Structure 1
Amino acid sequence: MAGVRRTARAQKGWGAGTRPALRKTMAAEGGAFGEAVRAVRAGELEADEAADQMIGRMTDREVLSLLDGDSHSLLLPLIPVLLGRRPFVAGAVPRLGIPGIRFSDGPRGVVIGASTAFPVTIARAATWDPALEERVGHAIGLETRARGANYSASVCVNLLRHPAWGRAQECYGEDPVLTGRMGSALTRGVRVHVMACVKHFALNSMENERFEVDVSVDEHALHEVYLPHFKAVVEAGADSVMTAYNRVRGEYMDINRPLLTDVLRDEWGFSGFVTSDWVFGTHDAVLSLQAGMDVEMPLRMLRALDLPGALNRGDVARETVRRSARRILRTSVLHAATREAAGPGAALIACPAHRALARQAAAESIVLLKNEIAGAAPLLPLAPATGHLAVIGRLAGRANLGDHGSSRVRPPSAVSPLQGLREALPRVRITATSGRNVRAAAAAAADAETAIVVVGLDQHDEGESVVTAGVDVGVLGRAFGSGRLRGPLMALAHLASRFVRGGDRNSLDLRPSDVRLIRAVAAANSRTVVVLIGGSAILTEAWRDRVPALLLAWYGGMEGGRALASVLTGAVEPGGRLPFVLPTDAAHLPPFDSAAKSVIYDDRWGQRRLDGDGHAPAFPFGFGLGYTTIGHRLLDHKFDDAGGSADVLVTNTGDREGSTVVQVYAADVSLRRPVAQLLGFRKVTLQPGVEATVRVTLDAGPTLQRDPATRRWAPRAGDWAVLAAQHSPGSWAGARPLRRPGPGPLTGGECAVEGSAG
């Protein structure tokens, strides 16, 4: 009877405002969630009403259990192991059939079990193809659900402020428009089957000090540079947002009410739920709840300790608890009611269709940066009559998938560059060497018709960092400094450090041994191709002029070796375009201090910084070559404060099928050094000799500014011009004035702009 009386008291406290007539539609205890899903699907209840009905049937303990993970804090040292074996659950209430949030990570595929390993996010950004990214998202969502999860933290849209960021490989590059379009596409694909979580909100762009760094940012940079892509993904339907570890303007993100409530909910209208980043992302149980962070992940830690007493004492309002509970249940019910009813089977995990998709994404991500004439033709693609190849480098024989942190995927098999070439060229003699012995490598290269050098980075050079014993965990929250939790925390740090390396990069250059290898091989064979593996920019000035062909192949996923071989042999066009600028000197980028406890984020980074300072890049943002030549001409455009479109005539002037990414930029040409702003893009494939008119959707955001007082957006002052190009333009000669309706300086005539080949 005590249990019955407790439930009755809970109904009185939590059921306020729930209509009695609606409560009658609920099923008996044990099936309330399933009945709510059925009722919402049938249109008998709104999701909010269904959530309120369930809350009205719950005890205090059950309602509070929605607000943190279900696993005991003693599992802390086992997180690295368990993350790859099962979903982490938060808020399950078996008595009412509530399944809870069943978490899986996965920017490049599902981290549970042996799943499809797609190319890393920044590689897929290089495809500049949202339709392809949506297909990848759909596959990740299917495999996530097949692994027993209903919630995927796969959408990472933090801006690449500096390529030394250890987790650059998990983002979509340096541009807000490209990031917003690609992140929105992944979101749409993922949430067909599971709830999609976007992360890390906000201003998380460094790794080693991510737990402590305080980011200062002005209103212009915050809303016009670092937040637009988050807003785009929210508008695309993201079900959840994960907070970042860092502080913004002095407040940790879990207690940052100005961003979590004033911006995310009040200004953008986000109605889903917010979770913390894991373990170290919650600093105060009550303040985080009041600020708008709904779920502490992934264990029972601060909130389990503090919220019951705070609720009993009245330190936290019952309505505040109810508000977060409603968000969680409403989102869960609504998603379950609208997703495909039949769950996928395990047979589709890493199935042939998903492997083929991974291979396509990898091939379309590869960026051809250089391809000079070698003899009578460009060095690439490899001549059909090639008889002897030397494949050289410590990464040539490895299926290098990238970071070994929380995004790590363990596919059932993976293909190295060497294996891919051997499969693609079974009749070609291939000599392979690791390159550790530089003289032997040079001799092998001299004996071959063409040498392919595969060098770059791996999980030791970049990736997710781990907490070590040198970190004062007391700053991360009271619970982490206590005797009960400090031991498990330190055990976790030491365990993780055995498997997870990386962190922020120490240099943007290759390892000295790789540079020596490239120089030696290039000296021995004038037909040398360099393939770079990595997750962001790698400087090439020390050796680029010595080699005729250069490709950036990223961490290409489980089919990366086959994809690379298909591009080298010409079976597939190199479809990638840079999602960031490659400078000639790291000093041309913003300062980057991986040990900084405070940092200022402004609007000068990447290609925009180089433009403003007058530095020519090695390769500009958006750059990439193909195996044909393509020209373009801007025909017309329509534009207002809501966006618009541009019509571009694109012509394949070469002798084989090829692709390009039509990119439309705007800039204030009244400035001495105009700074290019990407407005829109579209990938197009054409047969030789064919021309087509391509319509490119334009985003007005880069030409607008936000009034902090009114939160309204208006055109930015200046003499704005528009230009169609195949990469960020180095010159604005011949650009057309950006036409807006109505009078003002943003009107004018027209002129044609010709595109460069490639």
Structure 2
Amino acid sequence: MNMTAGRRAALTREQASSETMTMESSAYGEAVRAVRTGEISADEAANQLIDRMTEGEVLGLLDGDSSRWVLPFIPALLDRRPFVAGAVSRLGIPGIRFSDGGRGVVIGASTAFPVTIARAATWDPSLEERVGIAIGLETRARGANYSASVCVNLLRHPAWGRAQECYGEDPVLTGRMGSALTRGVRLHVMACVKHFALNSMENERFEVDVAVDEHALHEVYLPHFKAVVDAGADSVMSSYNRVRGEYMDVNRALLTDVLRREWGFSGFVTSDWVFGTHDAVASLEAGMDVEMPLRLLRARELPAALRNGVLARATVLQSARRVLRTCVEHSANRELAAPTRAVIASPAHRALAHQVAAESIVMLKNETVGAAPLLPLAPTIQHLAVIGRLAAQGNLGDHGSSRVRPPSTVSPLQGLREALPGVLISTTTGRDERRAAAMAAAAEMAIVVVGLDQHDEGESVVTGGVDVGVIGRTFGSGPLRQVLIGLAHLASRFVRGGDRSSLNLRPSDERLIQAVVAANPRTVVVLVSGSAILTEAWRDRVPALLLAWYGGMEGGRALASVLTGSEEPGGRLPFVLPTDAAHLPFFDSAAKSVVYDAQWGQRRLDGEGHRPAYPFGFGLSYTTLEHRLIDHTLDSSGGNANVHVTNKGHRKGSTVVQVYAADVSLRRPVAQLLGFRKVTLQPGAETTVRVVLDAGPTLQRDSTTRRWSPRSGVWALQASQHSPDSWENAVRLRRTEGLIDQEGTSDVKPA
């Protein structure tokens, strides 16, 4: 049976496997060996490989290897195999072997870690790096060499459906945590950071145009991307949205002028999937190297554009070289032998998932009821009521592209039953509020588990705003196009996930809380979510309140360990919890255009004088820790702060030392996080910790020279356990020849 050379090449590329081919005897394997031994550079290796490739093979590096007819099956295939781009089996080139992995590897039954925003709540980059190492190991064990696990889009508004996939609202926290994950992941596979840039709404992500000024762009929405690039990210994924009128795949100003020329990024850029490429030639010229994950626009248009001179061969070779150089460099820097599948959901990775979940839990309230705080649970407790529709669920988060399917999941109810084997635990979903109240009244304590799930928030997998013309010319115009668009719009009304319509709990959950706490004042409320939940309607009546996130496969056990006191609630808020949604930026999930400014989150509340329900960085402990700023150094390149920490309580505990700066000449100073460090102390112990400071939030960028200099104003520094609400005892900073130095320890009062 005969087949065309193009079809044969496509099949060959689809069937290639980097882990099964004999790399040592291939051209690619020889190139990797030569780079590893220092005989040639990765650039030279890429050039040598390109010299041996046909024109079709070179162009094949610039898009995915799967046919467009795979499109309807992408969700089903994502959890079964890596998606391959640019494989050339004739030369042993494995290509990019993609897996998603923000909370664990999406292929097969893998370890499900807490979602990214939960890990942000640990405020512990060293712990996040360990998560990255585990994800990298499991990614490679599943046959992939490339993980799109690093999402550092800023949480501009908590209604964003994919808030759970980011590290919260602060650029410094996001940059530090994203960099740590990157360092861990790339020990085993290539690390991709996404979605570049200004992607923080879901329902209209394919169409929305983001307007942003130079200050907000470079000083708010891009610093964390640069931090991850500096940490060694191998690849960047461009976002679906427009920025300043241009789709990101053709946005030369950001992909080339900023990312490559200003920041020095040398890796490769891929599109977001399927509908993230709008022009085959213009996107390549703008700096977007690979159309993922199918053979769509570029497969149809690049060969003719190259033959006709519309596309310069140098442009093709530039992107091809970036892809090959990065792949060769990665292969040369790791051992050839892949880990066995024994690492997947191994005891060590389960233990890590448990640790992260426990350290992510934020205790917001813990009032004294009777003779002692309500938590941890008294060891003498005999009867506990566990109530709520999420109590018996293994709730891992949304069901979009980051979904992980672990071999097992522990619910809060199961975790408590394991931790309290001798205790009578009554349970109900709470659908019948009277029954729930009666059950709570009959118990010594009640724990209400409520919040969100994949129906309330997450990735909007189906949306009506896509350009179906990328699938093929048949869908570019005419009746088929209209039918497909119509079906997409119709389906988008019924799919789960997407942006949230409210920051409140479901009304039924709020009624349940009120009914239970009225029946039993010894009530603990546990919130499960991927972002902020407003609590004003009921929090004053509740003595104990925890934010437990989507806690991963071990989340139920971790929650039980915190409730019983065998572990510390180690989390701190990675965003502000306001008292009113009106205190946040306006959010329209159907917006076709939006303005992103520098007023969001805690900074917006500070600037407008609104007190939050719980400030950014807030979280309680089971002990009392105090800290005091001793001294610091800070100039335009960064610095350090020495902070003395003391555990005044009677049990081991942790805190996050947070160092903030603000221009105190303003009537309402706006706190800017410069650095942080988590510290754990035994009872009565004290220590001095050094906190690395990022000067970025105190600097401004000149759009003409692209140079950074200190902002004007009277700046002060303060060590705190959350975003400060007063600057009266801050340490003044002064500026000398572009440096920011300590002036003294005198009090600073706002002008």
- For 2:19, the equivalent position in structure 1 comes to none
Is the CA contact (8 Å cut-off) linking 2:634 and 2:739 kept in structure 1? no
- For 1:90, the equivalent position in structure 2 comes to 85
- For 2:364, the equivalent position in structure 1 comes to 369
Given the superposition, is the C-alpha separation of residues 341 and 474 from structure 1 closer, same or farther in structure 2, using an over 3 Å criterion?
A: closer
The 5 Å alignment of 1:603-752 reads 603-741=598-736, 748-751=743-746
Given the superposition, is the C-alpha separation of residues 66 and 492 from structure 1 closer, same or farther in structure 2, using an over 3 Å criterion?
A: farther
Match of 1:481 among 470, 476, 482: 476
Match of 1:117 among 112, 117, 125: 112
Deviation at 1:680, TM superposition (A): 0.0
- For 2:17, the equivalent position in structure 1 comes to none
- For 1:15, the equivalent position in structure 2 comes to none
Match of 2:46 among 47, 51, 62: 51
Deviation at 1:484, TM superposition (A): 11
Deviation at 1:501, TM superposition (A): 1.5
Give the counterpart letter for 1:56 in structure 2: D
Given the superposition, is the C-alpha separation of residues 655 and 499 from structure 1 closer, same or farther in structure 2, using an over 3 Å criterion?
A: farther
- For 2:546, the equivalent position in structure 1 comes to 551
Q: What is the DSSP-based 3-state SS (H/G/I as helix, E as strand, rest coil) of the residue aligned with 2:407?
A: coil
1:357 matched to 2:337: no
Match of 1:456 among 451, 456, 472: 451
Deviation per CA, 1:58-114: give whole Å up to 9, x if none.
Answer: 111000000000000011000010011000000000110000000000100000000
Q: What is the DSSP-based 3-state SS (H/G/I as helix, E as strand, rest coil) of the residue aligned with 1:565?
A: helix
- For 2:243, the equivalent position in structure 1 comes to 248
Q: What is the DSSP-based 3-state SS (H/G/I as helix, E as strand, rest coil) of the residue aligned with 1:561?
A: helix
Deviation at 1:342, TM superposition (A): 2.5
Is the CA contact (8 Å cut-off) linking 2:635 and 2:738 kept in structure 1? no
- For 2:103, the equivalent position in structure 1 comes to 108
The 5 Å alignment of 1:42-441 reads 42-441=37-436
Matched pairs, number: 729
Same amino acid, percent of matched pairs = 79
Deviation at 1:340, TM superposition (A): 3.3
Deviation at 1:499, TM superposition (A): 10
Give the whole-Å Cα distance in 1 for the aligned partners of 2:232 and 2:429. 47
Give the counterpart letter for 2:46 in structure 1: A
Give the counterpart letter for 2:566 in structure 1: A
- For 2:568, the equivalent position in structure 1 comes to 573
Give the counterpart letter for 2:109 in structure 1: A
Q: What is the DSSP-based 3-state SS (H/G/I as helix, E as strand, rest coil) of the residue aligned with 1:165?
A: coil
Give the whole-Å Cα distance in 2 for the aligned partners of 1:654 and 1:587. 38
Give the whole-Å Cα distance in 2 for the aligned partners of 1:526 and 1:720. 46
Give the whole-Å Cα distance in 2 for the aligned partners of 1:626 and 1:145. 38
Is the CA contact (8 Å cut-off) linking 2:655 and 2:678 kept in structure 1? yes
Show structure 1 runs of 5+ residues with no match.
7-26, 754-758
Q: What is the DSSP-based 3-state SS (H/G/I as helix, E as strand, rest coil) of the residue aligned with 2:674?
A: strand
Is the CA contact (8 Å cut-off) linking 2:709 and 2:738 kept in structure 1? no
Deviation at 1:351, TM superposition (A): 0.4
- Which has the higher mean CA deviation after the structures are superposed, 736-745 or 191-200? 736-745
Given the superposition, is the C-alpha separation of residues 190 and 485 from structure 1 closer, same or farther in structure 2, using an over 3 Å criterion?
A: farther
Q: What is the DSSP-based 3-state SS (H/G/I as helix, E as strand, rest coil) of the residue aligned with 1:693?
A: strand
Deviation per CA, 1:697-742: give whole Å up to 9, x if none.
Answer: 0000000000000000000001000000000000001100125555
- For 2:11, the equivalent position in structure 1 comes to none
Q: What is the DSSP-based 3-state SS (H/G/I as helix, E as strand, rest coil) of the residue aligned with 2:211?
A: strand
Is the CA contact (8 Å cut-off) linking 1:176 and 1:225 kept in structure 2? yes
Deviation at 1:466, TM superposition (A): 2.4
Is the CA contact (8 Å cut-off) linking 1:30 and 1:96 kept in structure 2? no
Q: What is the DSSP-based 3-state SS (H/G/I as helix, E as strand, rest coil) of the residue aligned with 1:738?
A: strand
Give the counterpart letter for 1:193 in structure 2: H
Give the counterpart letter for 2:639 in structure 1: G
Give the whole-Å Cα distance in 2 for the aligned partners of 1:230 and 1:316. 30
Given the superposition, is the C-alpha separation of residues 570 and 751 from structure 1 closer, same or farther in structure 2, using an over 3 Å criterion?
A: farther
Deviation at 1:548, TM superposition (A): 0.2
Is the CA contact (8 Å cut-off) linking 2:468 and 2:484 kept in structure 1? no
Give the counterpart letter for 1:708 in structure 2: S
Show structure 2 runs of 5+ residues with no match.
7-21
Q: What is the DSSP-based 3-state SS (H/G/I as helix, E as strand, rest coil) of the residue aligned with 2:496?
A: coil
Give the counterpart letter for 2:578 in structure 1: P
The 5 Å alignment of 1:520-531 reads 520-531=515-526
Deviation per CA, 1:660-716: give whole Å up to 9, x if none.
Answer: 000000000000000000000000000000110010000000000000000000000
Given the superposition, is the C-alpha separation of residues 612 and 746 from structure 1 closer, same or farther in structure 2, using an over 3 Å criterion?
A: farther
TM-score normalized by the length of structure 1: 0.93
Given the superposition, is the C-alpha separation of residues 498 and 79 from structure 1 closer, same or farther in structure 2, using an over 3 Å criterion?
A: farther
Give the counterpart letter for 1:629 in structure 2: T
Give the counterpart letter for 1:595 in structure 2: A
Is the CA contact (8 Å cut-off) linking 1:125 and 1:173 kept in structure 2? yes
Deviation at 1:473, TM superposition (A): 2.9
Q: What is the DSSP-based 3-state SS (H/G/I as helix, E as strand, rest coil) of the residue aligned with 1:299?
A: coil
Give the whole-Å Cα distance in 1 for the aligned partners of 2:400 and 2:373. 40
Deviation at 1:486, TM superposition (A): 5.2
Given the superposition, is the C-alpha separation of residues 412 and 291 from structure 1 closer, same or farther in structure 2, using an over 3 Å criterion?
A: same
Runs of 4+ in 1 over 4 A off after TM superposition: 27-30, 474-480, 482-500, 739-747
Deviation per CA, 1:558-598: give whole Å up to 9, x if none.
Answer: 00000000000000000000000000000000000000000
Is the CA contact (8 Å cut-off) linking 2:59 and 2:302 kept in structure 1? yes
1:586 matched to 2:585: no
Deviation at 1:620, TM superposition (A): 0.1
Supply the RMSD in Å over aligned alpha carbons.
2.2
Give the counterpart letter for 1:414 in structure 2: T
Give the whole-Å Cα distance in 2 for the aligned partners of 1:580 and 1:32. 50
Q: What is the DSSP-based 3-state SS (H/G/I as helix, E as strand, rest coil) of the residue aligned with 1:300?
A: coil
Give the whole-Å Cα distance in 2 for the aligned partners of 1:456 and 1:59. 55
TM-score normalized by the length of structure 2: 0.94
Give the whole-Å Cα distance in 2 for the aligned partners of 1:743 and 1:187. 31
Give the counterpart letter for 1:448 in structure 2: A
Deviation at 1:341, TM superposition (A): 3.2
Give the whole-Å Cα distance in 1 for the aligned partners of 2:566 and 2:484. 50
Give the whole-Å Cα distance in 2 for the aligned partners of 1:597 and 1:445. 47
1:508 matched to 2:503: yes
Is the CA contact (8 Å cut-off) linking 2:204 and 2:465 kept in structure 1? no
Give the counterpart letter for 1:549 in structure 2: A
Is the CA contact (8 Å cut-off) linking 2:357 and 2:554 kept in structure 1? yes
Give the whole-Å Cα distance in 1 for the aligned partners of 2:287 and 2:313. 14
Deviation per CA, 1:310-367: give whole Å up to 9, x if none.
Answer: 0000100000000000000000000000023321001110000000000000000000
Is the CA contact (8 Å cut-off) linking 2:505 and 2:534 kept in structure 1? yes
Give the counterpart letter for 1:136 in structure 2: V
Is the CA contact (8 Å cut-off) linking 1:640 and 1:741 kept in structure 2? no
Is the CA contact (8 Å cut-off) linking 1:29 and 1:96 kept in structure 2? no
Give the counterpart letter for 1:348 in structure 2: V
Is the CA contact (8 Å cut-off) linking 1:166 and 1:462 kept in structure 2? yes
Given the superposition, is the C-alpha separation of residues 474 and 406 from structure 1 closer, same or farther in structure 2, using an over 3 Å criterion?
A: closer
Given the superposition, is the C-alpha separation of residues 102 and 498 from structure 1 closer, same or farther in structure 2, using an over 3 Å criterion?
A: farther
Give the whole-Å Cα distance in 2 for the aligned partners of 1:92 and 1:306. 20
